Amino acid sequence: MATARQRLLKEYKEATKQKQDTGIALIPDETNLFAWRARLQAPKDTPYEGGSFELAITVPEQYPLVPPSVRFRTKVFHPNMHFKTGEVCLDILKTAWSPAWTLHSVCQAIMALLSDPAADSPLNCDAGNLLRAGDMRGYNCMARMYTIEYAMQ
């Protein structure tokens, strides 16, 4: 646990420097260093553009040997995000985890997933089916509608 705490303190220091450049803000809970929030400014040229998405990040005591648990707190229409639970389907959060990953790099990977959804492993079957059918217009319209409804204040 001491290793995880030291690593998280180092990551917090780095995150405060990077916030302006990346569109990613990482905020640790004031009373629990193992609970974080992240605010992502959606990538340009996507149906999510202009949206601000909040993530809940739970860091295990075995971190960085074990990946954090990440969930969207903001509802999002995306094949790799579960609409109700906010769960994220991303290999680095499961089988492809490496201690080289940081909370910031995990957020960068999620931003990349917003730009380039993977329809082959959908947690949201409706979104996945639209993409697999080649209905980009339908997918983009739904994603944009949910972004306007839930991610734009």
Catalytically active residues, by annotation: 89
What is d(CA 75, CA 138) in angstroms, rounded to the nearest whole number? 18
In the block, residue with structure tokens 């990946």: 67
- H/E stretch holding 34 reads none
CB 68 within 8 A of CB 57: yes
Give Cβ neighbours of residue 81 (< 8 Å, ≥ 6 apart).
72, 87, 88, 89, 123, 124
